[in-house]
Amino acid sequence: LSYLNNAKNQYAYKLEGFNDNWIHLGTKREVTFTNLDAGDYTLRVKGSNNDGIWNEEGTALKITITPPWWKTTWAYALYFLLLAGIIYSLRRYELNRLHLKNQLQIEHVNAEKMKELDQLKSRFFANISHEFRTPLTLILGPVEQMRAGAFKGNVHEAYDMILRNGKRLLRLINQLLDLARLEAGSMALQTRSENVVIFLKGLVFSFASAAERKRIDLRVSCPEESLIVYFDRDKLEKIVSNLLSNALKFTPEGGSVSVQLSVTGDQLSVVSHQLRRKPLNTDHWPLNTGNWLLLTVKDTGSGIPAELREKIFDRFYQVDASHTREHEGTGIGLALTKELVELHGGEIFVESEVGIGSTFFVRLPLRLASSEQLAATGDQFDEARGMEQSARLQAGALPASQDPNKPSIQHSTTPSPQESTPLLLLIEDHPDVRAYMRHYLEPGFRIIEAADGEVGVALALETIPDLIICDVMMPKRDGHEVCRILKTEEKTSHVPIIMLTAKADRDSKVHGLETGADDYLIKPFDAAELLARVHNLIKLRQQLRERFGREITLQPKDIAVTSMDEQFLTRAMQIVEEHMSDSQLGVEFLAHKIGMSRVHLNRKLRALTDQTANEFIRTLRLQRAAQLLQRKSATVLEIAYAVGFNNPSHFAECFAKQFGVLPSKFVE
């Protein structure tokens, strides 16, 4: 540089890290940098004198530009923490949302399960109430009658019925107590070595009488005559009895039930060298090793739908839980059976096909007795036979005269009661209850019976009884449906109906009355109360007949239409009035126009007006004749022909009988 002529000195610079090329400034001595990124830079400057000679070495200045605070390491650390916090919060929120959603779904599922369980329990308690109240009716009723000295039937038959239903109650109570003990874990096995073959044959033999009544082929098959093993006699008896009871209950008349005992496992050759058995599909069994006692109960019943097979072992569950179920039951038998099997360390499984039948497999751990125990074990066949009575009760066996599977329609054996005696229809599926009611009602009434709702409806439409006593819970059609059908059917709308039920709550009573029932009686009921209600309803029906008869006699067209029965009467009167001048108008013509048979028309009119169809037509003709005579609009002869009489003498005779005077005197 020239310090003498420094105005001609020239300069050049470069900023390493920003621009690596020399930039000539000329004589300018200032340089400005803007918008430089943070970092380290080196500013190199060189100069030349007025002769153009450059100082290539020049000078250098290190420059450090610090970043703004938002780009510092601490700021980025803060940014990272904030981002991590946001991500964590979002993730936590999403997890909480999913957890809440899952929780709500779980609560919904639990609520549905609780609702289903409540419904099952409600049905269970309704069924158990029915199961308890029905035998209570058959126990308390005869006892009260005996105590009052009013019992007139066969005392020994009554004692048998009381004993049978008392044992039925005891069996239900024992089942409930067994379930409670199993749930509490207080039931333990009490095994001992016994001949399981003799035990099983004796137990199956005790069900033979129940099978014979339904003409069911009951068979038992065992590998050999003797197989001494350890088992709990009481609990195995309950397992087999429950399975056999169900098999006999759901197998139709003429079907078959077979019980088979076999052994599976490694010790098969030790037990029997000649044992033949069909291989069991063990895909369903969680245990596939060891030695097992296999019990198979097979029936040719209605079968169980696939979607219901897993539920039949649940407590309170019934395949058919409706009011129209074919068979009685509480829904605890199979649940108790399963828990007793599991108490043994065994398994139970069912294979079933609708319309073909069901097969229950029970597999229990096999523990053979020692040789000393084999020698000490005597013949137990007589002891097994001793179980016949208890097992018969387990199977629900009844005297032959009370078998519910015999003809559904039963008529009273009272010798030829007069037609004027009121006719009662009993619709009740329990034979003992029917027999109990028949015993107290038969002296004053003619009795016909039906064992289910469908037959009851058909019998009511066929016979048109004076009163119907109908149970609520019955096979095929329940009492509510029976009541609804009969009350909307013109033939039977006038027939009073008393509903019998084990449901004592207000809603059930209201529902029964809403379907058209005239009265509601809760089991257990008193026979005297039932008899009083029957008499009251028949008396009320007689009063209605008298009222209808008076109204028809007074004015043919003046009946106020307030019920289906009165609508029927109005229609019948209109038909008669429209064809009154036709001498051919008779019972057949009126029955055809109304749409009933001659017999049903006569029964209906007699029930409503205490008149036959002929009397009904003649009364209307004579009443119309009286009206015409009062108006003096025609002669007696003309009026006789106008109201359908061909013979004036016959007209005068009938008129005098009806009004007490001859037509000519009536005009005066």
How many whole angstroms separate alpha carbon 143 and alpha carbon 137? 10
Mean local confidence (pLDDT), 254-258: 91
Q: Which numeric CATH code is attached to 190-267+288-398?
A: 3.30.565.10
Which spans in 294-441 are helix H?
333-343, 371-376, 381-385, 388-394, 431-441
Tokens found for residue 599: 């017999």
Mean local confidence (pLDDT), 229-236: 86
This prediction has a pTM of: 0.51
Using the predicted structure, report yes or no on whether residue 270 has a pLDDT greater than 60.
no
Q: Domain-by-domain residue ranges, the chain? A: 6-66, 73-165, 190-267+288-398, 409-541, 555-667
Q: What is the pLDDT at residue 550?
A: 55
Side-chain-side CA neighbours of residue 95 (13 Å): 6
Q: How confident is the model at residue 418 (pLDDT cuts 50, 70, 90)?
A: low
How many whole angstroms separate alpha carbon 47 and alpha carbon 107? 86
Q: What is the pLDDT at residue 7?
A: 74
- Look up residue 643 and give its amino acid: V
Using the predicted structure, report yes or no on whether residue 34 has a pLDDT greater than 90.
no
Nearest to 384 by CA among 633, 207, 522, 253: 207
Residue-averaged pLDDT of the chain: 76
Exposed, middle or buried by CB within 10 Å (0-12, 13-18, 19+), for 598?
middle
Mean local confidence (pLDDT), 243-253: 88
Task: List residues bridging with 26 in a β-sheet.
Answer: 11
* Superfamily of structural domain 6-66: Immunoglobulins (2.60.40.10)
Using the predicted structure, report yes or no on whether residue 304 has a pLDDT greater than 80.
yes
Q: What is the pLDDT at residue 280?
A: 40
Q: Residue 17: CB partners within 8 Å, gap ≥ 6?
A: 39, 40, 41, 42
Tokens found for residue 566: 């009165």
Q: What is the pLDDT at residue 412?
A: 43
pLDDT tens per residue across span 624-644: 777 777 777 677 777 777 777
How many whole angstroms separate alpha carbon 290 and alpha carbon 401? 49
377 in Cβ contact with 201 (< 8 Å):
no
pLDDT tens per residue across span 566-593: 777 777 887 877 777 776 677 787 887 7
622 in Cβ contact with 662 (< 8 Å):
no
634 in Cβ contact with 572 (< 8 Å):
no
Q: What is the pLDDT at residue 2?
A: 53
Mean local confidence (pLDDT), 174-184: 75
Q: What is the pLDDT at residue 157?
A: 79
Task: List residues bridging with 47 in a β-sheet.
Answer: 11
401 or 481: which leads in pLDDT = 481
| Architecture of the domain made up of 555-667 | Orthogonal Bundle (1.10)
CA triple 660-666-668, angle to 5 deg:
140
pLDDT tens per residue across span 68-83: 888 888 999 999 999 9
Using the predicted structure, report yes or no on whether residue 179 has a pLDDT greater than 80.
no
pLDDT tens per residue across span 312-328: 887 656 655 444 345 55
Q: What is the pLDDT at residue 290?
A: 54
Mean local confidence (pLDDT), 172-187: 76
Most confident of 7-16, 122-131, 165-174: 7-16
Choose the CATH number for 409-541 among 1.20.1540.10, 3.40.50.2020, 1.10.10.1200, 3.40.50.2300. 3.40.50.2300
- Look up residue 420 and give its amino acid: S
